[in-house]
Amino acid sequence: MEIEQDPGPVTGRSVWRAVVYVLAFVLIGFGLWSLGGAIYAAWGLFRDPDSIAYFAKYFLETTNLAAFVPAGGEGLAHYVAWIAVILLLLVLGKLGAWALGAAAQLLAIDRKH
- pLDDT (tens digit, 9 = 90+) per residue, 2-39? 565 655 566 777 888 888 899 999 999 999 999 999 99
Asked if residue 58 belongs to a domain, the reply is: yes
- To the nearest 10°, report the CA torsion of 80, 82, 83, 88: 120
Asked if residue 5 belongs to a domain, the reply is: no
Asked if residue 99 belongs to a domain, the reply is: yes
Asked if residue 91 belongs to a domain, the reply is: yes
Q: Which of 101, 99, 105 is nearest to 27 (CA)?
A: 99
Decide: 28 and 37 in contact? Cβ < 8 Å: no
Q: What is the pLDDT of residue 8?
A: 58
Q: How far apart are CA 30 and CA 34, in angstroms?
A: 6
Taking the complete model, does pTM exceed 0.85, yes or no? no
Asked if residue 3 belongs to a domain, the reply is: no
Number of domains in the chain: 1
Give 66-110 pLDDT, tens digit per residue. 677 677 666 777 888 889 899 999 999 999 999 999 999 999 987
Asked if residue 2 belongs to a domain, the reply is: no
- Which residue type, as a one-letter code, is found at position 113? H
Containing structural domain, residue 70:
10-112
- Which residue type, as a one-letter code, is found at position 87? L
